[in-house]
């Protein structure tokens, strides 16, 4: 008999991941959804909605749906609260990132996790991609020597979504370190296999600001046909509806961090949200004494430059043959379903999610106070 999965908050990301679940391959099926938007979601799902038990309240679903596993896809500021409900029942959990958006929630979640028997899969696809798995294999082999410096970057070509849609509300998102850098900090921690000890960060808002009125929609703006960010333009249509130059537009549009690790080496990371088209890039350079390894998810290419011989190795991945996030999404799902079926343990645990969120919150605090922050559980 197929295992029963329930979803709390049927958001865009979760619906994309779990909306086409094939129970014959996974041994699992979606049987229940807790979301107050039942009519809207049911209309979108069509006939598939008839096989779903709908709940307006998460506790009601958790108490009565007879679940074997739970997925949380609410908006970010509710992740901790919903996760604590699941952890209390010691059910397998798939949790979207960021796992928490405030220090208070982070510490509550840590305590709830330590008191629970739940296996938790945090939605960190990047560390699960074939590209990073190969990078990890090469680094662990000692081929480039011990990694002594990392230069990581994320130039986001679809950055408008963080200013046109609900993502512009920092009270929900916690800012863009928690939205984007949480992934990058996690894969860096994974590749290094080391603990961060301190962080210093800066963030700035130079582009997506202005004097347009609060709540202005692109369709109502007198510059809707000339503005490069107008959501009436086909290239921007899927990013939301709000004006990104209004006085209520939240979120920084670039940010950078320096992270020191326990050995004394450091990482530089920078993210940008107004780069477009060919300027897109997401990846890193990891430098050891023997060689340098670099990769970029947008090109699907990984290179190893040997420092002491005239040799460069190039590995090219076929991006068209991979599912979402460079092949990482499929790995996350397989891991979760195998956990539900009692076959595996989490490969992206809540310990990883907690550490990444702590780094992001410390980065925000550093940027806001112009200070170095120690990365430690106080």
Q: What kind of fold does domain 126-213+250-322+357-374 have according to CATH?
A: Dihydrodipicolinate Reductase; domain 2 (3.30.360)
Q: Name, in order, each residue with C-beta under 8 angstroms of 289's C-beta and a sequence gap of 6 or more.
A: 145, 146, 148, 307
Residue 242: DSSP 8-state: B
Give the pLDDT confidence score for residue 23 in this predicted structure. Answer: 60
Give the pLDDT confidence score for residue 323 in this predicted structure. Answer: 80
- CB count, 10 Å around CB of 179? 24
Listed as ranges, residues in the chain with pLDDT below 50 are none
What φ, ψ does residue 282 adopt, rounded to 5°? -150, 115
* Helical (H) or strand (E) element with 18: helix 12-18
Give the pLDDT confidence score for residue 24 in this predicted structure. Answer: 62
- CA distances (Å), origin 251, targets 121, 273, 373: 27, 10, 21
For the chain, which residues make up each domain, given as ranges? 3-125+329-348, 126-213+250-322+357-374, 214-249
Give the pLDDT confidence score for residue 309 in this predicted structure. Answer: 96
- CATH no., domain 3-125+329-348: 3.40.50.720
Chain centre distance of CA 155: 15
Helix ranges (DSSP H) in 92-179:
103-114, 130-141, 161-164, 170-173, 176
**Token reading at 207:** 């582009």
- CA distances (Å), origin 206, targets 143, 203, 210, 255, 264: 41, 10, 10, 11, 33
* Equal CATH topology for 3-125+329-348 and 126-213+250-322+357-374: no
- CB count, 10 Å around CB of 194? 15
């Amino acid at each position: 008999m197929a295992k029963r999965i329930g979803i709390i908050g049927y958001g865009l990301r979760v619906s994309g991941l779990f909306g086409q679940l094939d129970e014959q391959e996974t041994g699992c099926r979606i049987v229940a959804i807790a979301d107050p938007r039942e009519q809207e979601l049911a209309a979108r799902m069509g006939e598939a909605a008839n096989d779903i038990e709908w709940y307006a309240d998460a506790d009601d679903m958790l108490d009565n749906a007879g679940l074997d596993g739970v997925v949380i896809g609410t908006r970010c500021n509710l992740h901790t609260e919903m996760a604590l409900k699941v952890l209390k029942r010691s059910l397998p959990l798939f949790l979207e990132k960021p796992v928490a958006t405030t220090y208070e929630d982070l510490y509550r979640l840590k305590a709830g996790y330590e008191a629970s028997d739940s296996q938790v899969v945090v939605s960190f696809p990047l560390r699960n991609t074939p590209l990073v798995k190969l990078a990890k294999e090469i680094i662990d082999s000692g081929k480039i020597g011990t990694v002594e410096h990392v230069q990581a970057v994320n130039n986001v070509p679809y950055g408008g979504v963080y200013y046109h849609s609900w993502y512009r509300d920092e009270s929900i998102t916690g800012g863009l370190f928690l939205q984007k850098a949480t992934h990058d900090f996690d894969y860096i921690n994974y590749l290094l296999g080391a603990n961060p000890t301190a962080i210093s960060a800066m963030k700035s808002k130079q582009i997506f600001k202005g004097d347009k009125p609060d709540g202005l929609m692109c369709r109502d703006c007198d510059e809707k046909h000339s503005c490069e960010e107008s959501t009436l333009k086909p290239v921007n249509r899927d990013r939301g509806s709000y004006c990104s130059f209004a006085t209520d537009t939240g979120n920084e549009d670039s940010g950078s961090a320096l992270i020191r690790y326990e050995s004394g080496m450091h990482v530089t990371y920078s993210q940008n949200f107004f780069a477009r088209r060919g300027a897109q890039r997401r990846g890193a350079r990891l430098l050891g004494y023997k060689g340098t390894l670099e990769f970029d998810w947008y090109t699907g290419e990984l290179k190893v430059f040997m420092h002491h011989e005239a040799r460069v190795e190039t590995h090219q991945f076929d991006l068209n043959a991979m599912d979402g996030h460079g092949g990482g999404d499929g790995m996350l799902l397989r891991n979760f379903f195998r956990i539900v079926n009692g076959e595996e343990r989490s490969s992206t645990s809540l310990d990883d999610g907690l550490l990444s969120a702590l780094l992001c919150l410390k980065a925000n605090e550093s940027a806001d106070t112009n200070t170095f922050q120690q990365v430690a559980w106080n």
